Amino acid sequence: MDNMKQVTNPYLPFWEYIPDGEPYVFGNRVYVYGSHDFFGGDVYCMGNYMGWSADVSDLGNWRCEGVIYRKDQDPENGDMQGNLYAPDVTVGPDGRYYLYYVLSSRSIVSVAVCDTPAGEYQFYGYVHYPDGTRLGEREGDEPQFDPGVLTENGKTYLYTGFCGGGDRSRHGAMVTVLGEDMLTVEEAPRFVAPGVMYCEGTGFEGHAFFEAPSIRKRGNLYYFIYSSIQFHELCYAVSTSPTENFEYKGVIISSCDMGIDSYKPKDKPMYYTANNHGSMTQIGDDWYIFYHRHTNGTNYSRQGCFEKIRFREDGTIIQAEMTSCGGTPLRGEGTYPAYIACHLFTDTDMTYIPWSGWMDDRFPKITQTCGDEDMERMAYIANMRSSATAGFRYFDCRGVKRISIRTKGYATGVVEVRTAWDGEVLGTFPIAYANVWHDTEAEIAIPDGIQALYFTFVGRGHMQFASFTLS
C-alpha cells in the first residue's frame, strides 16, 4: 500500500488525548477503547468516549469513529459531575459489543451496548447481584474501579479495583463472574492480585496492584495486566484459570523505561511519568502493548502509545522499550516532529512529573499550540534549558550526512547530536535568539544502521524544538 504511513508514537494525531487504551481486533481492524483527556485539562478523563480504529495492516493510519458514548447517557450522571473513567469492551454471547465503565463520581460498574464495535453505544444497565443490589453497594463490597472484561463460554469475567498505599480497607484486584445477560453476578468478587498493604509473601512485593486491571488470553494462559504501585509500569501475572492462582511474572513496559538496562543504567528514568494503563493484543503476527505517556507537564493530558512485545518460550514477556516508532524503525530520511520524542530529560534525574499544579520550569515538556486554524496548531517540545535532551528511537539510517532542526525561543548556545544518551557528540547546531520558528542546518553524519538520535541543548535561556530533518 503506497499510501501507508509510518507508525509513530503517539499513534493518534498530536491533538488527541486517549489514554488507558484497551486494544482489540474485530474483523480486519484494530479498535482502541480508552478514556478521553484534554490538552490543558485540569482533571482526568474530561471528555466523552471517542472511537479510533486502524486497518490491521496499516497501523500508521488511524480513523476517528467519532463519539461512541457520552457521559450524559448514564442515568446516575444527571448532574454531570462524573467523568468517564477508563473503559473496556467485550463481545457478549449475543454477538453485541458491551462497554463497561465506572464514573469518577460512583463506585459501581455501568454497562452500555452496541451492535458494532464503534457505533453509538446505548446505556444498558448496572452490574448487580441477583437480588438487584448493585456491585459495589452490598455490605462488604469494595469500591469498583477501572473495569477490565473477558467473555468466554457464556461467562464474563469482570476485573476491577484500586489500591492506594496506606489503605487497608482495599485488598487488591477483584474478579467477578457475570452471567449471559452481561449484568448479573453469578460468582461474587474474589481477589486475584494483592494491593501494597497485603502483598508480603505473595511474590508481588515491589509491584503490588495499584489500578488499571486488564485481562487477555494467549494460548492456555490468562494474562492479568495492571498498573503497579510504582505507577509508571504495566505489570502482569499469569494463570491457567481466569479466577485464581495468578503469579506475578514481571513488567511489560515502563513509561520512563525504568528497569531497562540494555542502553542505560536500570534505575535511570528517561521520561517524566505518572500513572499508566493499557493492555496487549495480537495484530497480525505480532503482539503489542498499548500504554500512555504524559504531556504538557501535568497528569491530565495523556496520549496513547504502543510497542511490539516478545515472548519467551515459557510465555513470559521481555520488557519492551519506549520508542518513537512502535517497534519498527523509521526511515532515516525526511522530517520528523519533535513531539514523537520517547525520551525527555535533563542532567537532573526525575522519574515523576515534578509539579505542584504545573510543571517545574526547570524541565522540558511536550506541548502544543491551540490556534483556530489547522496551520496554527502544532505540537513541540517547550522549555529546553541547558542539558535538556530529547531522544528518538529508532531510525534505519543509510547515508545520512546532513541534519536540520527547527527551533525558536530566547536561547543562545548549541544543540548537540548523539546516537546514545551518553554517547560521543557527532556534531552541533548554533542556537541564537529567535522570535519565530527558524531552521538551522549542519553537516552531521549518522552511522549507517538502526540508530537512536538525541538532541541536547547547551547554553542559556529556554529553547523550543519543533522538528528535525534527516538527509
Q: Could you state, in order of their start, the residue ranges of all structural domains in the chain? A: 22-328, 331-470
Residue 4 confidence class, pLDDT cut points 50, 70, 90? confident
Total number of residues shown for the chain = 471
pLDDT over 60 at 374, yes or no? no
Does the structure show a pLDDT above 80 at 31?
yes
Catalytic residue, chosen from 37, 74, 142, 211, is: 211
Residue 268: strand, helix, or coil: coil
Average pLDDT (33-47) is 96
Tell me which architecture the domain covering 331-470 has in CATH.
Answer: Sandwich (2.60)
Q: Out of 20, 233, 307, 321, pick the active-site residue.
A: 20
CA distance 33 to 21: 5
Mean pLDDT is highest, among 203-212, 353-362, 371-380, for: 203-212
Rounded to the nearest angstrom, the gap between the alpha carbon of residue 312 and the centroid of all alpha carbons in its chain is 23
- Residue written as grid cell 498493604: 197
Cell of residue 207, nine digits? 509491584
Q: Is the pLDDT of residue 1 over 50?
A: no
pLDDT given for residue 361 in this prediction: 78
In single-letter form, the type of residue at position 191 comes to F
Contact call for residues 30 and 283 (beta carbons, < 8 A): yes
- Taking the C-alpha atoms of residue 467 and residue 406, their distance in angstroms, rounded to an integer, is 5
pLDDT band at 377 (very low <50, low <70, confident <90, very high): confident
Q: Residue 362 carries which DSSP code? A: T
Q: Are strands 317-318 and 358-359 parallel, antiparallel or unpaired?
A: unpaired
Return the pLDDT at 375: 52
Q: In what order do the strands lie in the sheet with 317-318?
A: 279-283, 286-294, 302-311, 317-318
What is the per-residue pLDDT across 129-187, written as a single tens digit (0 to 9) for each? Answer: 999 999 999 999 999 999 999 999 999 999 999 999 999 999 999 999 999 999 999 99
Q: Which range among 227-236, 329-338, 364-373 shows the weakest confidence by mean pLDDT?
A: 364-373
- Sign for the pseudo-dihedral over CA of 51, 211, 263, 293: positive
Active site annotation includes 152: no
What is the average pLDDT value for the chain, to the nearest integer?
96
pLDDT at 356 over 90: no
Percent of the chain with pLDDT over 70: 97
Q: Is the pLDDT of residue 92 over 90?
A: yes
Fold assignment, 22-328:
Tachylectin-2; Chain A (2.115.10)
State the Cα–Cα distance between residues 317 and 326, nearest whole angstrom.
17
C-alpha cell at 276: 499508566
Per DSSP, the three-state class of 119 is coil
Q: Tell whether the model's pLDDT for residue 24 goes beyond 80.
A: yes
Catalytic site includes residue 2: no
